Amino acid sequence: MSDAASAPDALPEDTTPEKRDFIRQIVRDDLASGKHRAVKTRFPPEPNGYLHIGHAKAICLNFGIAGEFGGVCNLRFDDTNPAKEDPEYVAAIQDDVRWLGFEWNSLRHASDYFEVYYLAAEKLIRDGKAFVCDLSAEEVRQYRGTLTEPGRNSPWRDRSVEENLDLFRRMRAGEFADGARTLRARIDMASGNINLRDPALYRIKHVEHQNTGDAWPIYPMYDFAHSLGDAVEGITHSLCTLEFEDHRPLYDWCVDNVDLGGHAELLQPLLDKGLPKEAAKPRQIEFSRLNINYTVMSKRKLMALVGEGLVDGWDDPRMPTLQGLRRRGYTPAAMRLFAERVGISKQNSLIDFSVLEGALREDLDAAAPRRMAVIDPLKLVLANLPEDHEETLAFSNHPKDEGFGKRSVPFARELWIEREDFAEVPPKGFKRLIPGGEVRLRGAGIVRCDEVIRNDAGEIVELRGWLDPESRPGMAGAERKIKGTIHWVSARHAVEAEIRLYDRLFTVADPDDESEGRTYRDHLNPASRRIVAGYVEPAAAAAAPEQSFQFERIGYFVADRYDHTGERPVFNRSVTLRDTWTSKG
C-alpha cells in the first residue's frame, strides 16, 4: 500500500500510440523473459536546489515507465550531503512531481538507509574490499593517475581488517576532523576507468542533517549510497543520464560485493524502522540528458542567478525551474508533451527553445478560454452613441470548442483599443484603423475613425469614431468586406491589470559559451521582463490564480499564482501567439 498522500486528479485517458524507445524495449524484454515480475523505478533528486526542466524529462520517464508497465515509482531524496540541502527544496520537489501529474509509490530518503550503508561498509572492510585512507583530498588526486597513466596505491591500502574496522568505527564515533580520513573501496588503481581507482565510499562531515540531526559525523558518497539505495528498494530499472555511464561499473561493484540479497543481517535496520525488506539487483540504464538553448541548467549557475538578485527567486517566471515555468503559465500537459517530443535516446542533442514553447501553444490553443485585454491602451470614443450607452454582448469562450460555452462582455461608448492598432501614416499592408478608415470591432460592428485628439505635447490621447448602426452582428451590413478586425475592452467596465510581459532570459542560444571571455551574466536579456498597466474585461479579472487564457491577438497569459486577485489582477505572459525568435537566429 502506498504511503503517499492523496493522489492528484486523474490524468485523461492516454490514447496516444504505444511509446517506443530503447529503455522501454529493455523493460518489455525483461518482463517477457520473466526476469522481473513487476517494474519498479525511482526518481532520486538531491534536495540542494529547485528542480529544472531537465528533471521534468527524468520525472516523466521514471513515473511514466512505471505507469505504462503496471509498476510503481518511488520518490527518494538523495540527502547524503546535508551541508547543501534544505527542507525548502524537499517541499518544492514534492510539489513539482505532483504538479506534473504523478504520485510516488513510497517516499524515501537515502538517510532512511544510513544504518544499512554503514553495516554494508563494515562488511566490505571485513571482506578486504575497503580500507580507511589517511591521504588528503589533494593527495588522493595526485595518487589517482590520469587517463593515460595508472594510479598509485595509497600507503594505507594494506591496513589490516582489524585496524580498518577500528578506524572506521572511530570515524563513526566522531573522533576525527573533517577530511582527516576517508573509507575507500579496494578495487584497482590501474583500472582504465578512473571511477574504479579505489573510490571513496565515506567521508567525514560534522554537519547536522535535516532528518538525522547530529547522529552521523560521516556520510556515504553518492555512488555507494545510490546503488545500495536502489538495491534496498528492489528497483528493477535504475534510469539516469549519460554522465553516469562511466560510473556503472562502480554501481555494479557496490551492489555485487555488498550483496544485500544474500546478507539479510544488513537489512535488519529496515525491519527495525518498519520499512519493507525488498533487496534485489537493479540494472542501471543511461539516457541523454535534456539540453535546451537560450537557458542555463547548471544548479550552480541557477543558484547564482538567485543569490545575486539577477532574477526574483527560484520561481521567477523566466527561470527554467519547474516552479518558475509553472508560474509563467506552463501546464503539466504541456510539460509532458514536451518530454514526449524530446524523446529518449543515447545521443546527446540540443533542443531548440521553440519546441518547449510550441508544446505550450498546442496545449493552450485547445485548453485556454479566450478573453479580451489591452496592454497598451488608446481610448476610442464612439461619438454617435449616447454617453450613457451600455449593452451586453455574448462572446464564445473558445472559437473551436462550443463546450466552453459563452460569456457576457459589456460594451459602451468609450473603449480601450491597442495603440498599435491605429496608425496615422500606415505602413504598407496595414489593415487596422487609420484616419477616415474602417475596421471591424470584434463582435460589435464596423467603426470608422473620424478624429484624432492630441495633448499639448502632440501625443495622440484619443480617437473619435462612428459605429455603423447597420453593421452590428447578425445584420446585413455586417457582411460587407472589411480587411481588419481589432479587439477592445469597455473603458467603463474594464479592470486595470498589471501585465508582466516575460520573454527568454538570455539573448544568445548558448549563454554557457565563454570563448570570448564573457559569461552567462553578460548575455542576460534586458527585455526578459516588462511590466505594463493594461485593461482586461471583467471575466478575465475574475480568474482564479493559475488560470490560463488566450488574450485575443496578444498571446497566452496566466493569472499569477501568488499576486493575482480579482480586485488587483496580475497576469504573466506565458508565450506569444507565434514564435518571434526564429528569425533572430
Please say if 289 is a catalytic residue. yes
Query: Where residue 581 falls among pLDDT bands split at 50, 70, 90?
Result: confident
Q: Is the pLDDT score of 3 beyond 50?
A: no
Q: Distance (Å, rounded) from C-alpha 250 to C-alpha 476?
A: 79
Looking at 19, 28, 46, 129, which residue is catalytic?
46
Number of domains making up the chain: 1
Please say if 299 is a catalytic residue. yes
Residue 174 within any structural domain of the chain: no
Confirm whether residue 346 is marked as ligand binding.
no
How large is the average pLDDT for residues 146-152?
Answer: 95
Task: Give the pLDDT of residue 1.
Answer: 38
Mean pLDDT taken over the chain: 94
- Return the exposure string of 468-479: e unless at least 16 CB atoms fall within 10 Å of the residue's CB, then b: beebbeeeeebe
Looking at 144, 169, 281, 289, which residue is catalytic?
289
Is 574:558 a contact under the CB 8 Å cutoff?
Answer: yes
Residue 568 is classified by DSSP as S
- Return the exposure string of 165-191: e unless at least 16 CB atoms fall within 10 Å of the residue's CB, then b: bebbeebbeeebeeeebbbbbbbebeb
Confirm whether residue 48 is marked as ligand binding.
yes
pLDDT tens-digit series, residues 76-128: 999 999 999 999 999 999 999 999 999 999 999 999 999 999 999 999 999 99
Question: DSSP for 512-535?
Answer: T--TTS--GGGGB-TTSEEEEEEE
* Beta strands at 485-486 and 438-441: parallel, antiparallel or unpaired: parallel
Rounding to the nearest 10 degrees, give the CA dihedral for residues 46, 49, 53, 56.
40
More confident residue, 278 or 361: 361
Task: Give the pLDDT of residue 202.
Answer: 98
Confirm whether residue 332 is marked as ligand binding.
no
Tell me the three state secondary structure of residue 226.
helix
Looking at 299, 442, 492, 561, which residue is catalytic?
299
Confirm whether residue 525 is marked as ligand binding.
no
Residue 224 within any structural domain of the chain: no
Is 121:130 a contact under the CB 8 Å cutoff?
Answer: yes
Pull the grid cell for residue 516. Answer: 570570448
First to last CA, the chain: 52
Q: Is the pLDDT score of 146 beyond 60?
A: yes
Least confident of 221-235, 262-276, 532-546: 262-276
- For the chain, give the percent of residues with pLDDT over 70: 96
Residue 303 within any structural domain of the chain: no
Please say if 205 is a catalytic residue. no
Q: How many CB atoms lie within 10 A of CB 544?
A: 8
Largest CA distance in the chain: 101
How large is the average pLDDT for residues 339-359?
Answer: 94
Residue 95 within any structural domain of the chain: no
pLDDT tens-digit series, residues 544-558: 999 999 999 999 999
Q: Distance (Å, rounded) from C-alpha 166 to C-alpha 125?
A: 10
**Residues facing 380 on adjacent strands:** 415, 463
* Beta strands at 445-454 and 438-441: parallel, antiparallel or unpaired: antiparallel
Confirm whether residue 297 is marked as ligand binding.
yes
Residue 326 within any structural domain of the chain: no
Task: Give the pLDDT of residue 39.
Answer: 96
Of 535, 543, 580, the residue nearest 565 (C-alpha): 543
Q: Distance (Å, rounded) from C-alpha 340 to C-alpha 359?
A: 10
The CATH number assigned to the domain holding 517 equals 2.40.240.10
Q: Is the pLDDT score of 569 beyond 90?
A: yes
Residue 332 within any structural domain of the chain: no
Residue 404 within any structural domain of the chain: yes
Residue 518 within any structural domain of the chain: yes
Q: How many CB atoms lie within 10 A of CB 284?
A: 20
Q: Distance (Å, rounded) from C-alpha 412 to C-alpha 337?
A: 42
Confirm whether residue 55 is marked as ligand binding.
yes
pLDDT tens-digit series, residues 462-519: 999 999 999 999 899 889 999 999 999 999 999 999 999 999 999 999 999 988 889 9
Pull the grid cell for residue 99. Answer: 504538479
Domain that holds residue 531: 368-584
For the sheet containing 370-371, what is the strand order?
370-371, 548-551, 555-559, 570-576, 495-502, 529-536, 373-374
Confirm whether residue 78 is marked as ligand binding.
yes
Confirm whether residue 195 is marked as ligand binding.
no
